[in-house]
Structure 1
């Protein structure tokens, strides 16, 4: 049982007057632990602690090298207990344990190690000639107190995509985990203390929508960074705009994997296509859930993908043989099943899955599903499902493939698969999305910017561009 009741403010856990929240396993429904929903007054206290650490604590005078070292010590502390973190995330999210070590914890550490490396090299000051004579000193200053609202699907990884560049920039933070998966982030407090990060630099308030509203609307927050649904992001963006407050929004996706007609359909390619959809039980914002297939090789590709998905093992995420675990809750399962049923009514053909897996009567399981003969105007090809479902869409020629990939309200990620890497790169450059992988399901690189076009969000995370998002520019004219 993991109990983290209260709020983590100024380097210690303090009692909270908020309601107790039970965290349950999506695989079994069993209670894993408890957290407390922070009240609006307690959110205010966390923000005040972050402000004090920003302006008066030792963090205010750190150098870039010192902040990089602190990020590195935080990575060391987490790495020392990486198995425990993987177990907690697997239990509360339902991620298959054999995937969690890399897909949840390895990626989180990769973000920290990347910012540990690039922060000392970042130019926080620059002198340039003034056009009116003399010089201008251009300074990059921390934006201030950051309110970070986090999703449940990859709690540590998404937290570090915000926390690491914010720390690199010299900011302080108030983190709000999702009520579905707050345990790993609450456990993070021990690593923060082990790393010697000063009190008040990182504060954590758990809770639901009301806690999030209190954080987003508080005038003491200089920037809000949010990862989650487009609907919630629209609301957060509106609140921030009303107060002229900075915000970064990493939102939904309906990414396309374009399979070109020269592809060698071997095990590596098929496995990559399946991984791009089914990783983390399909609960990845950048999941490549639309697979676009050349009509000249359509049935060949359909058969190969369907066979690979049908062979996946569904079950308890703690079991090392499990490939696909449960979705996060009953509402998610019901929504996914309704989408599958509607797609079949609209003419889609189920070639794998399509129903609940046998023998899994507890938990929120959906059989990994492949739907063929899908048209790009169907709801299942346009709306984010966040589950283990992929749709196969035929196309005629490269131009139509690009047009179909771009015909979406979203623009987060994508992939191109081809025997000719140069050709794939040319096609990738035509996609209106934030990141495109060539012959790989990997949706991002830790040292490069990640974020979306269109309704997939505003701003970028990762790489030097991630640090820039937590800075304000000041010019001193000498």
Structure 2
């Protein structure tokens, strides 16, 4: 029997291992989930909300176990805690708006007719969650899907193998029925077979473009609904009237936090020429003096190893190629002796970069950012849109109208002004181009996890 092995980036050891579930056993588990769905959907909305809240509360009680576990699994420093702030915020908001988002649209109630549109649960929702923010990305779909009356099957990335197991345990201990929320240990082949067999009514995937394409191929002809959040190469544009210090602080944190492994992390920066030299100087100083690379279990560490050696290798390759093509690295390697050529990767700020370099085009997903000067909004807009991805864009100015005007022309899912790298649960989390399709959270998230059903009821005369 094959197994899934979680290799810890902390020391390269096997931190956890689970056997791959046999296809027949997985099919049986999904069948039980489907059988449980109707009864779950019949429960009052308030009861489903209370149970989801209780599941998240139980997860919060596991903080002492979860935080070091995350460090061992994917390298996030323990000083930042777990992901409970985001998990709690998103769950709370979706619970608060559920009644409104799922309310019927009443068209007519008269002596002759009742006409309305209701939101009905899809059925079984399959959540394929990534490793970089394994709890928050999962809860984006798990919480509203359960609240809306779906049952949920969760499959986590091997790099965060234990997260699905822990989430399901927390929800079961809080009273959510076992077959309503289940966790499966699957390999790619098993996952694709279940999808291609039409086992699910909706699949939500967060991960690579290649993974998204594989899921689309597997789902072809099944008419299964898909939500796909794939790659990103999010830009920031600092205009000449920006608050320089605030822009440097937020943008560099957005580029470097979690070792740059953020879906909406900042990967490329365009700075108005009058501010360019000062911005670059402050950005390099922010990284050189503010970050400490090291063991994520050390509370003094601010940047831990990347989640996997191969992820770090891709960032190193992009950076080396850029340097060979004429870019300059502003961060002295001597400042980060913990860089071991493996998972522990020093942060880098690159200047003299161009869009001929992969580091300014391909997703890096690591602690490197390129900075270019621009001479106009038009130039910045052209460069921001010169990308296959479109998740978020960050604009820095005191002119709201200017930001809105530029935002209308940027090919992206979210436009930020004077902030970056944040997911607002009241707004739809969505993207365009190779970033994928669909949207989570907000009222629209509930709509994507349900289907409209119309009632046209004609009353017979007495």
Same fold per superposition (TM over 0.5): yes
The normalised TM-score by structure 2 is: 0.93
Is 1:47 aligned with 2:30?
Answer: yes
Instruction: Provide the TM-score with structure 1 as the length reference.
Output: 0.90
Task: Decide whether aligned partners of structure 1 residues 319 and 421 sit closer, same or farther in structure 2, where only a CA change above 3 A counts.
Answer: farther
User: For 2:378, which of 396, 399, 407 is the aligned residue?
Assistant: 399
Matches of 1:458 and 1:60, distance apart in 2:
26
- CA drift of 1:29 comes to 1.3
**1:314 and 2:296 correspond:** no
Q: Please give the residue correspondences for 1:296-315 in structure 2 after superposition, counting only pairs within 5 Å.
A: 296-311=274-289, 312-315=291-294
2:19 paired residue number? 36
Corresponding position of 2:223: 244
Which residue of the partner structure matches residue 5 of structure 1? Answer: none
Whether the 8 Å CA contact 2:313–2:342 is kept in 1: the answer is: no
- For 1:473 and 1:355, the matched residues in 2 are separated by 59
CA displacement 1:337-395 (0-9 Å, x = unmatched): 11111111222111125699424549611110111121124221110011111111221
Pick closer, same or farther for the CA change 1:355–1:335 going to 2, 3 Å.
farther
For 1:328, the equivalent position in structure 2 comes to 307
* Correspondence 1:186-265 to 2 at 5 A: 186-265=165-244
Q: Is the 8 A contact 1:418 1:424 kept in 2?
A: yes
Contact 1:148 1:173 in 2 (8 A): yes
Structure-1 residue corresponding to 2:411: 432
- Deviation sequence 1:130-157 (CA, Å, 0-9, x none): 9xx8342212111111111111111111
Listed as ranges, the gaps of 5+ residues in structure 2 are: 458-462
In the alignment, which of 41, 44, 47 is matched to residue 63 of structure 1?
A: 44
Compared CA separation, residues 415 and 254, structure 1 to 2 (3 A): same
C-alpha distance in 2 between matches for 1:349 and 1:279: 22
Name which of 420, 444, 450 aligns with 1:465: 444
The more displaced of 208-217 and 72-81 is 208-217
C-alpha separation between the residues in 1 aligned to 2:175 and 2:433? 40
Is the 2:430–2:439 contact (alpha carbons within 8 Å) kept by the matching residues of 1?
A: yes
Q: How big is the shift at 1:83?
A: 3.2
Rounded Cα–Cα distance in structure 2 between residues aligned with 1:207 and 1:357: 38
Query: Aligned pair 1:25/2:8, yes or no?
Result: yes
1:81 paired residue among 55, 62, 69: 62
For 2:153, the equivalent position in structure 1 comes to 174
Q: Distance in 2 between matches of 1:118 and 1:265?
A: 37
- Matches of 2:391 and 2:334, distance apart in 1: 29
Contact residue 145 and residue 173 of structure 1 kept, 8 A: yes
Point out the more displaced range, 337-346 or 349-358.
349-358
Aligned to 1:97: 78
The number of aligned residues is: 455
Residue 183 (structure 1) aligned to one of 162, 170, 177: 162
Candidates 119, 128, 148, aligned match of 1:149: 128
CA displacement at 1:250 relative to structure 2? 0.7
Q: How far apart in 2 are the matches of 1:32 and 1:257?
A: 37
Q: Measure how far apart 1:411 and its partner are.
A: 0.6
2: distance between equivalents of 1:160 and 1:218?
A: 26
Cα deviations by residue, 1:404-436 (Å, 9 ceiling, x for unpaired): 112211110111112445543443343221112
User: Helix, strand or coil for the counterpart of 1:184?
Assistant: helix
Aligned position for 2:460: none
Structure 1 stretch 348-357 or stretch 433-442: which is displaced more?
348-357
- Report whether the alignment pairs 1:273 with 2:246: no
| Larger deviation, residues 362-371 vs 316-325 | 362-371
- Is 1:414 the counterpart of 2:393? The answer is yes
Specify the SS of the correspondent of 2:262: coil
- Give the direction of change, closer, same or farther, for the CA distance of 1:228–1:356 in structure 2 (3 Å limit): farther
2:339 & 2:276 partners in 1: Cα distance?
Answer: 33
- CA 1:175–1:215 in 2, change beyond 3 Å: closer, same or farther? farther
**Matched position secondary structure for 1:127:** strand
Task: Report the equivalent of 2:357.
Answer: 378
Cα distance between partner residues in 2 of 1:252 and 1:286: 9
Report if the CA contact (8 A) 2:230-2:434 is conserved: yes
Match of 2:220, SS state, is: helix
Alignment CA distance shift 1:164-1:355 (3 Å): farther
What is the SS of the residue equivalent to 1:275? helix
SS of match in other structure, 1:200: helix
Q: Which runs of 5+ in 1 are unaligned?
A: 1-17
